C-alpha cells in the first residue's frame, strides 16, 4: 500500500516538474524548487516499504514498540512531504489563474488539478494505511443509449420486481449489513492510525507552516474517517431487517393482494385497451365486409377483392395497434406500454428470417400462387378441392367421411393445383361399395376417412388400409357393374364345329342354366356372349363374356363359380372333351436310337429267375 502511494506521488511530482507544451516555451523552474524535489525523491527512495515493515515478525513487545515508532516517523515525514507538494501545486495554480487564459494554460491547469486530487488521495492513503479511493466515490453512470434502454424497461422491471419484493429486500438488507460491517472495520482501523499520528504530532510543537498545515489535515481526516456515522447506518439497516423478518404473511394473502392491486390499476387499463381494440376491429371489419365482402359495393373483380381485403386488413391491424399504444400513453401506463413495445420489437426481430415464407404465404392467401381456389389438389396421395385460401387453406372431399381439412398455408407452398374436370370422381369408392384390389382382396367398403379405408371381407373380417395406400392398390369398384371374361378350351377334335355350332350351343346352354340370373326383376346378368377366341397350343379357346349388374357385386365370387359350373355341365351333356395341357419332347437322333435300343431289350420278370 505504502509503496504504491509513493510511486504515485513520485509520478505526480515528476509530471509536475517536467511537463512541457508545444504551444508555449516551458517556464523555468526555480532553483529552490529543484533542490526541494531532489530532497523529496532521495527521502522516498530511502524509505522502506510500509507493507514490508508491517509484515515483519514481532517476537518481543519492545521490538514491536520500536518498529511502530519508526513507522510513525516515516509516515509523518512522508505526510509532511505530501503537504509540501500540495502547497507547491496550489502556488502554481495561483500563478496560472493570474495569467491570460490560453489553450496551453487551460491544459496545464487541468493537469495540476489532477495532480492535486492525486496528492489528496495519497495523503489519505498514507495516513490511514488503506486504499480509500472507493469509500466515498459513487458509481459511474452508463452511456446515453444504456440510459434509454433502462428507462424503457424500467416499468417492466419494477413490475417483475414487485413479485419478489420482500425476499429481495431481505437479501439486500443482509448484503448492506455485511458491507457496512466491512466498512466500519476499515474506518475503525483508519481512525486508529490517524489517532496515533495526531498524538505524535501534538507532542511536538509545530514550528513550520508545513507542520501546521499537516496537523490541520490530520484533524480533518479524523472527522472524515470517523466510524460513528457508519455505525448509525448499520443500526438502522439492522432495524429494517428485523422488521422485515417479523412480518411473515401467508403467500396466498400476498398473492391475493397483488392480484387486487393489479386489477385496481393496470387491469382496468388493460381492459380498456382490449375493449377498444376489439370494438375498433369489429367496426372496421364490418366496413370491409360491406365494401369488398358479399355485397361488394365497390364492384371489384374476385381476384382484386382478395388483394384489397388483405391490404385493408393489414392497414386495420396497424391502425388498431397504433391507437392502442397511444391510449396506453395517454393513460400513463408505462408498464403495459413497455411490454407492448418489447413484444412488438421481439416479433419484428424474430420474424426477419421468415419474411420469404410470409411473402409466399401472402401470395397463396391472395389466390396468386401455385395453389388456387376451386381447383383440384393432390394432397398426400388423395385428391382434394381447394375450397378457400386465407389465413389457412380449407380442403374438401365429399366422398370421405369428415372430408374437410384445414391446413396452414406453409404446407402448400411447394404444391400445385389444376382446374377440376366436370364429373371427375374425387375418390374411387363410396360407402357400401364392393371392390377388388390388386393384392387380391375382395370386400365391402365399411369406412373411408381422411386417414384410413376399412374393408369388410366375406365372413366379417375387417382389413385396414391407409387412404393413400388404398388408392395405390388400384381398386376395382364392382358396385358400378362388372363383367366376367372366361377363356374356355375344347379339344381339337371339334375343330370343324368350333366357329359356328359350338358357340351357339354354349350360349343357349348358359341362357338355360343361368335363366334365374338373366330373367330376374331386375336381371342380375345383363348380357351374355360366346364366341371363338383363338387356337391355343393344346386347345381351341372360346371367350365367354357375362355382364353383371352392380347390385350383384356382393355375390361376385359365387356367380363366377356358377358360370364355371354351367360350362362344365354343357360339356358333359354334349360329350365334349376339355383338354389338359400337353408337353412335347423333341429329342436328338442319338437319343432317339438309344430309346429304340432300350425298347428292343427284353424286360426281365421281377418275380422270375
In the chain, where are the structural domains located?
2-55+65-128, 145-248, 258-350, 363-419, 434-477, 481-573
pLDDT of 141 over the 90 cut: no
pLDDT at 601 over 50: yes
pLDDT(23) > 80: no
Which of 456, 448, 463, 345 is closest to 397 using CA atoms? Answer: 448
In CATH terms, the fold of domain 481-573 is GMP Synthetase; Chain A, domain 3 (3.30.300)
Predicted pLDDT of residue 404: 92
* Spatial distance between the Cα atoms of 41 and 460, rounded to a whole number of angstroms: 114
pLDDT value of position 562: 93
Q: Give the pLDDT of residue 567.
A: 93
User: Please, are residues 2 and 70 in contact by the beta-carbon 8 Å criterion?
Assistant: no
For the segment(s) 434-477, the CATH number from 1.10.10, 1.10.1060, 3.40.1800, 2.30.30 is 2.30.30
Instruction: Identify the residue with better confidence: 570 or 268.
Output: 570
| Higher pLDDT pick, 356 / 302 | 356
- Give pLDDT, residue 18: 35
- Interior/surface letters 15-43, b for 16+ CB within 10 angstroms, e for the rest: ebeeeeeeeeeeeeeeeeeeebbeebeee
Please determine, for residue 37, whether its predicted confidence score (pLDDT) is greater than 60. Answer: no
Per-residue pLDDT, 451: 92
Q: Specify the pLDDT at position 112.
A: 84
Q: Which residue has the higher pLDDT, 333 or 57?
A: 333
What's the rounded Cα separation, in Å, for the pair 505 and 519?
19
pLDDT at 448: 94
Range 267-273, long-range pairs (CB < 8 A, 24+ positions): 269/328, 269/331, 269/333, 269/336, 270/336, 272/327, 272/331, 273/324, 273/327, 273/328, 273/336
The pLDDT assigned to 6 comes to 41
Q: For residues 378 and 527, what is the distance between their CA atoms, to the nearest angstrom? A: 38
Q: What is the mean pLDDT of residues 575-604?
A: 61
Q: What is the mean pLDDT of residues 326-333?
A: 83
Contact 533, 480 (CB under 8 A): no
What is the tens place of the pLDDT at every residue in 243-274?
877 766 666 766 677 677 666 667 778 888 88
CATH-assigned architecture of domain 2-55+65-128 = Up-down Bundle (1.20)
Average pLDDT, whole number, for the chain? 76
Q: What is the pLDDT of residue 158?
A: 65
pLDDT over 90 (residue 385): yes
Mean pLDDT of 169-175: 85
Q: Per mean pLDDT, which of 172-176, 299-303, 381-385 is the most reliable?
A: 381-385
Write out pLDDT tens, residues 466-500: 999 999 999 999 999 999 999 999 988 888 898 98
Stronger pLDDT, 2 or 341, i.e. the higher one = 341
- What does the DSSP assignment read for 30-94? PHHHHHHHHHHHHHHHHSPPHHHHHHS---SHHHHHHHHHHHHHHHHHHHHHHHHHHHHHHHHHH
Cell of 445: 367398403
Query: Which of 131-140, 251-260, 315-324 has the weakest average pLDDT?
Result: 131-140
* Dist. CA 391–CA 393, nearest whole Å: 7
**Partners of residue 548 on adjacent β-strands:** 482, 525
pLDDT per position as a tens digit, 507-539: 999 999 998 888 878 888 999 999 999 988 888
Lowest mean pLDDT among 140-144, 175-179, 423-427: 140-144
pLDDT per residue over 144-163, tens digit each?
Answer: 556 666 565 666 566 666 66
Q: How confident is the model at residue 587 (pLDDT cuts 50, 70, 90)?
A: low
Asked, colleague to colleague, whether 2-55+65-128 and 434-477 share their fold, the answer is no
Least confident of 66-75, 300-309, 435-444: 66-75
Q: What is the pLDDT of residue 7?
A: 44
Which pLDDT band, with edges at 50, 70 and 90, does 608 fall under? Answer: very low
The residue-averaged pLDDT of 549-556 equals 92
Listed range (167-171, 538-542, 572-576, 597-601) with the worst mean pLDDT: 597-601
> What would you report as the CA-atom Rg of the chain, rounded to the nearest whole angstrom?
55
Tell me how far apart the alpha carbons of residues 89 and 96 are, in angstroms, rounded to a whole number.
Answer: 11
- pLDDT tens digit string along 204-226? 666 677 777 777 777 777 777 77
Share of the chain above pLDDT 70, in %: 71
d(CA 31, CA 11): 20
Tell me the pLDDT band of 1, cut-offs 50, 70 and 90: very low
- 52 pLDDT band, cuts 50/70/90, is very low
Q: What is the pTM of this model?
A: 0.48
The cell numbers describing 14, all together, are 515528476
Model confidence pLDDT, tens digit, residues 393-416: 999 999 999 999 999 888 888 899
pLDDT at 33: 43
The Cα 98–Cα 276 span in angstroms is 70
**Position 15 pLDDT exceeds 50:** no
Measured N-to-C along each axis, helices 31-46 and 61-98 cross at an angle, to the nearest 10 degrees, of 150
Structure confidence at residue 604 as a pLDDT band (50, 70, 90): very low
Amino acid at each position: 500500500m505504502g509503496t504504491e502511494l509513493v510511486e504515485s506521488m513520485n509520478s505526480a511530482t515528476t509530471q509536475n516538474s517536467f511537463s512541457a507544451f508545444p504551444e508555449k516555451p516551458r517556464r523555468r523552474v526555480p532553483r529552490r524548487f529543484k533542490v526541494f524535489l531532489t530532497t523529496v525523491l532521495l527521502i522516498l527512495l530511502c524509505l522502506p516499504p510500509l507493507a514490508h515493515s508491517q509484515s515483519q515478525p514481532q517476537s518481543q513487545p519492545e521490538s514491536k514498540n520500536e518498529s511502530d515508532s519508526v513507522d510513525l516517523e516515516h509516515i509523518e515525514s512522508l505526510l509532511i512531504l505530501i503537504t509540501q507538494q500540495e502547497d507547491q501545486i496550489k502556488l502554481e495554480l495561483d500563478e496560472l489563474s493570474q495569467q491570460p487564459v490560453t489553450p496551453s494554460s487551460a491544459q496545464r491547469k487541468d493537469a495540476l488539478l489532477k495532480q492535486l486530487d492525486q496528492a489528496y488521495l495519497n495523503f489519505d492513503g498514507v495516513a490511514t494505511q488503506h486504499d480509500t479511493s472507493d469509500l466515498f466515490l459513487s458509481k459511474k453512470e452508463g452511456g446515453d443509449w444504456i440510459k434509454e434502454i433502462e428507462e424503457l424497461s424500467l416499468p417492466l422491471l419494477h413490475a417483475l420486481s414487485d413479485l419478489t419484493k420482500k425476499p429481495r429486500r431481505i437479501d439486500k438488507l443482509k448484503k448492506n449489513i455485511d458491507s457496512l460491517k466491512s466498512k466500519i472495520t476499515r474506518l475503525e482501523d483508519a481512525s486508529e492510525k490517524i489517532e496515533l499520528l495526531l498524538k505524535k504530532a501534538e507532542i511536538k510543537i509545530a514550528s513550520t507552516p508545513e507542520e501546521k498545515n499537516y496537523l490541520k489535515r490530520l484533524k480533518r481526516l479524523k472527522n472524515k474517517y470517523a466510524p460513528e456515522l457508519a455505525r448509525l447506518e448499520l443500526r438502522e439497516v439492522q432495524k429494517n431487517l428485523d422488521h422485515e423478518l417479523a412480518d411473515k404473511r401467508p403467500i396466498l394473502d400476498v398473492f391475493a393482494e397483488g392480484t387486487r392491486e393489479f386489477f385496481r390499476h393496470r387491469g382496468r387499463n388493460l381492459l380498456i385497451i382490449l375493449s377498444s381494440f376489439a370494438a375498433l376491429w369489429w367496426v372496421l371489419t364490418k366496413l370491409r365486409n360491406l365494401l369488398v365482402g358479399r355485397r361488394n359495393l365497390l364492384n371489384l373483380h374476385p381476384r382484386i377483392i382478395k388483394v384489397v381485403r388483405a391490404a385493408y386488413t393489414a392497414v386495420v391491424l396497424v391502425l388498431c395497434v397504433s391507437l392502442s399504444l397511444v391510449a396506453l400513453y395517454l393513460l400513463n401506463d408505462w408498464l403495459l406500454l413497455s411490454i407492448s413495445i418489447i413484444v412488438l420489437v421481439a416479433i419484428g426481430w424474430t420474424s426477419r428470417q421468415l419474411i420469404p415464407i410470409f411473402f409466399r404465404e401472402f401470395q397463396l392467401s391472395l389466390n396468386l400462387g401455385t395453389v388456387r381456389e376451386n381447383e383440384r389438389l393432390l394432397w398426400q396421395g388423395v385428391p382434394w378441392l381447394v375450397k378457400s385460401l386465407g389465413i389457412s387453406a380449407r380442403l374438401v372431399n365429399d366422398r370421405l367421411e369428415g372430408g374437410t381439412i384445414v391446413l396452414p398455408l406453409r404446407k402448400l407452398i411447394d404444391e400445385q393445383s389444376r382446374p377440376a374436370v366436370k364429373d371427375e370422381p374425387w375418390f374411387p369408392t363410396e360407402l357400401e361399395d364392393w371392390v377388388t384390389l390388386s393384392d387380391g382382396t375382395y370386400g365391402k367398403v365399411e369406412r373411408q376417412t381422411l386417414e384410413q379405408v376399412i374393408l369388410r371381407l366375406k365372413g366379417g373380417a375387417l382389413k385396414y388400409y391407409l387412404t393413400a395406400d388404398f388408392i395405390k392398390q388400384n381398386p376395382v369398384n364392382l358396385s358400378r357393374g362388372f363383367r366376367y371374361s372366361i377363356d374356355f378350351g375344347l379339344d381339337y377334335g371339334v375343330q370343324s364345329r368350333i366357329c359356328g355350332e359350338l358357340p351357339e350351343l354354349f350360349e343357349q346352354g348358359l341362357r338355360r342354366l343361368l335363366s334365374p340370373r338373366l330373367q330376374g326383376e331386375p336381371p342380375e346378368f345383363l348380357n351374355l356372349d360366346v364366341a371363338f377366341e383363338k387356337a391355343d397350343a393344346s386347345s381351341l379357346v372360346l371367350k365367354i363374356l357375362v355382364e353383371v349388374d352392380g347390385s350383384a357385386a356382393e355375390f361376385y365370387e359365387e356367380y363366377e363359380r356358377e358360370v364355371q359350373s354351367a360350362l362344365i355341365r354343357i360339356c358333359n351333356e354334349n360329350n365334349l372333351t376339355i383338354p389338359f395341357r400337353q408337353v412335347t419332347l423333341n429329342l436328338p437322333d442319338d437319343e432317339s436310337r438309344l430309346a429304340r435300343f432300350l425298347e428292343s431289350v427284353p424286360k426281365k420278370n421281377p418275380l422270375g429267375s
